[in-house]
Amino acid sequence: MKLLRLKINSRFSSLAEGFELKFRSSSVVDREKLGKFNPYCFAGLNGSGKSNALEALSNIFYHLEGCVNIHQPDSFKLDFNPKIATLDAYELEYYIIPKSQNEHTLENMAYVSIIKTCNEEPTLSYSYYPFEKKLELIKLVTEEFDNEPASAKNFLPDLVIGYTSGENEVLSIPFIKTRLLHFDEYKESVTKNLKYEKPESSLLYIDYEMSQAVLLSNFLFQEKEVLVALQDELGIQDIKRFRMNINLHKIKVKNKSKYLIEQIDNTIIYFKNCATSFFQNEEKLILDFWINEETKKSFKKNFDDIFKLFQSFQILYTLNYRTVSSEIKKEVYQSKGYYTNGKIPEPALNEKTFYFLDYYIKKKVSTDKSINLLMRNLSDGEQQFLHSLGICLMLKNKRVLLLFDEPETHFNPDWRSKFISILEKSLVASESNNLMKDILITSHSPFLISDCYPSNVMIFGKDDENNVTVTNALDKELKTFGAAYDIIMEEIFNKNESIGNYSHQKISGIDFDKIQNSRDIIRIKKNLLELGDSYEKDMLFSKLNRIQDEFDDATNI
């Protein structure tokens, strides 16, 4: 999918009524640009509203999924109203290749307009390429006895993926709600003996547990050339072994006990087919996997594709929400603010349905040495790299909106400078179709901004009334792509120093009026020897040298 415009018509967090993001023009179809890898970067100071823009989009799609889907559990229906949403009035426009289209080309793309006014159901209308015909309104809200999703689901993305490297819980709220929804949806399929294949809602949140599934799926399915970034940058050469622990919890169904995992019996059989060995009794199932080429062949034989394997792990993780009480669920479903994740207790291992143990990877630590390392021993930066990059490698033919909130927080400078290019190369290697996805990244890093075209850099700020403003870098005539980091720092972050404040005080604190002779200059230079190389130090020494020349000229006279 490709975003065109988002306008907010009712205040949402720090975004005032009338806030608007213009991504692309709907009047001019730029075939070349649409087919290229062009992520959007939201740049600005802390508190400038960047993350709230991502939050707005995730809330919109959470509500839309609640409107179109049919397998909504009773606990969700009690608190969901299609007429009322956290973001209650907006206009959203985008291009998307509908699910009904098998050919993923521009000619099969549709223009979509979604409008919601306060306390009213949203409406969705569309027009197919070349978008010249009158928009056609389509059903967006399911009715009580519908046996299939509303027709508008055909024009919604397959996945809306969220990732935040920090503690930005507001972005995660609709995703946490969706996880609880997925569990209740699954539980009802067990109690009502309904067929269960996959989660119905499109929202997917990537955290540490999901990153384990991401890494496994990639190394079990992908060809080596697709994994070059993970191998070169992280030194991860392969998966060595892992154990799947599945506690066989039961639930009450009509005064009888039934195993919670019964609805995915076929999936469990597939995992058993791939396991090196397994043990099972009435309380638990333990599957051990020693990874070699035959193991990988077995996974490819039993699971249709990489995403089906990942989704199988996702379903098993979802079952860990069995311990969340109905009272807590109600609180979370109704939540519109902070502190959602903290409301959900972390279950003990014996209370979880699924978790990994003995998850070892083969990691290169020097030119001629590799070691077996537990997955959890990777650094925060390495984990972040896996989170953000790994999921992108699995989305070949998926219609996806990716919302990355500061993915580079724990990256070293080298990874920050390479992130965009590595992402692009990995997507090319995995034969990803750029028409199928849009990527939005919030960042404070000039490294990332310097790799984004000015038409795709949105600069966030605040006006005199503390309302969020957004300016396209192109409109500011700021050529971000390939721009020097110091220019980006000054133009976007109002930071005209290239060094830290404490060290800068050493330079800015020099009183030039007190320099009386060459000895003073020698003393100042000696005191500054502890400073590393920088633009500021070079300019200071240049000024001191000019003063020295003036002293020398005066002496010669």
Average pLDDT on 455-464 reads 92
Note whether 296 and 257 are same-domain residues. yes
User: Which domain-ending residue is among 477, 493, 509?
Assistant: 493
pLDDT of residue 260: 93
- What's the pLDDT tens digit per position in 473-495? 999 899 999 888 878 888 888 77
117-144 residues labelled b (16+ CB within 10 A) or e (exposed): eeeeebbbbbeebeeeeeeeebbbbbee
pLDDT of residue 425: 84
Q: What is the mean pLDDT of the chain?
A: 88
pLDDT of residue 548: 86
Strands 123-128 and 136-138 come out as antiparallel
- 26-30, 93-97, 219-223, 366-370: the lowest-pLDDT one: 26-30
Q: Which residue has the higher pLDDT, 278 or 483?
A: 278
Report DSSP state, residue 119.
Answer: T
Position 556 pLDDT exceeds 80: no
pLDDT of residue 551: 81
Note whether 545 and 469 are same-domain residues. no
Q: Give strand pairing partners of 441.
A: 41, 404
- Cα angle 320-322-326, degrees, rounded to a multiple of 5: 135
Nearest Cα neighbor of 355 from 436, 276, 246 is 246
Which stretches of 117-208 are assigned E, i.e. beta strand?
A: 123-128, 136-138, 159-164, 203-205
pLDDT of residue 207: 83
Domain that holds residue 240: 2-493
Average pLDDT on 243-270 reads 92
- Cα angle 316-320-326, degrees, rounded to a multiple of 5: 130
Position 170 pLDDT exceeds 70: no
- What's the pLDDT tens digit per position in 495-542? 766 677 778 788 888 888 889 888 888 888 888 888 887 767 777 888
Note whether 155 and 290 are same-domain residues. yes
Q: Which residue has the higher pLDDT, 301 or 408?
A: 301
pLDDT of residue 147: 87
Average pLDDT on 20-29 reads 86
pLDDT band at 33 (very low <50, low <70, confident <90, very high): confident
Report the alpha-carbon distance of residue 557 to residue 547 in Å, rounded: 16
Position 44 pLDDT exceeds 70: yes
pLDDT band at 12 (very low <50, low <70, confident <90, very high): very high
Note whether 425 and 521 are same-domain residues. no
Position 194 pLDDT exceeds 90: no
Note whether 469 and 354 are same-domain residues. yes
Position 343 pLDDT exceeds 70: no
Instruction: Give the SS3 label for residue 273.
Output: helix
Average pLDDT on 225-236 reads 84
CA atoms within 13 A on the CB side of 437: 26
- 169-173, 351-355, 425-429: the lowest-pLDDT one: 169-173
Average pLDDT on 377-398 reads 83
Instruction: Give the SS3 label for residue 555.
Output: helix
Position 339 pLDDT exceeds 60: no
pLDDT band at 210 (very low <50, low <70, confident <90, very high): confident
What are the C-alpha distances in Å from 472 to residues 440, 467, 475, 476, 477?
14, 17, 5, 7, 9
Q: Which residue has the higher pLDDT, 367 or 259?
A: 259
pLDDT of residue 342: 53
- What is the percentage of the chain residues whose pLDDT exceeds 70? 97
Note whether 316 and 405 are same-domain residues. yes
User: Which domain-ending residue is among 473, 493, 513?
Assistant: 493
Position 407 pLDDT exceeds 80: yes
Query: Residues for the chain: how many in total?
Result: 557
- What's the pLDDT tens digit per position in 109-140? 999 999 999 999 999 999 999 888 899 999 99
Note whether 508 and 432 are same-domain residues. no
Q: Which residue has the higher pLDDT, 346 or 12?
A: 12
User: Which tokens is 194 given?
Assistant: 């309904």
- Cα angle 84-202-95, degrees, rounded to a multiple of 5: 85
Residue position matching structure tokens 């000619």: 107
Tally of domains in the chain? 2
- What is the percentage of the chain residues whose pLDDT exceeds 90? 49
Position 153 pLDDT exceeds 90: yes
Average pLDDT on 248-276 reads 93
Nearest Cα neighbor of 175 from 332, 359, 298 is 332
Note whether 403 and 464 are same-domain residues. yes
Note whether 469 and 508 are same-domain residues. no
Q: Which residue has the higher pLDDT, 337 or 389?
A: 389
Note whether 157 and 243 are same-domain residues. yes
What are the C-alpha distances in Å from 555 to residues 337, 513, 514, 519, 549?
71, 19, 19, 14, 10
Position 159 pLDDT exceeds 80: yes
415-434 residues labelled b (16+ CB within 10 A) or e (exposed): bbbbbbebbbbbbebbebbb
Note whether 486 and 523 are same-domain residues. no
Note whether 201 and 71 are same-domain residues. yes
User: Which domain-ending residue is among 451, 477, 493?
Assistant: 493
Q: Are 40 and 456 in contact (CB under 8 A)?
A: yes
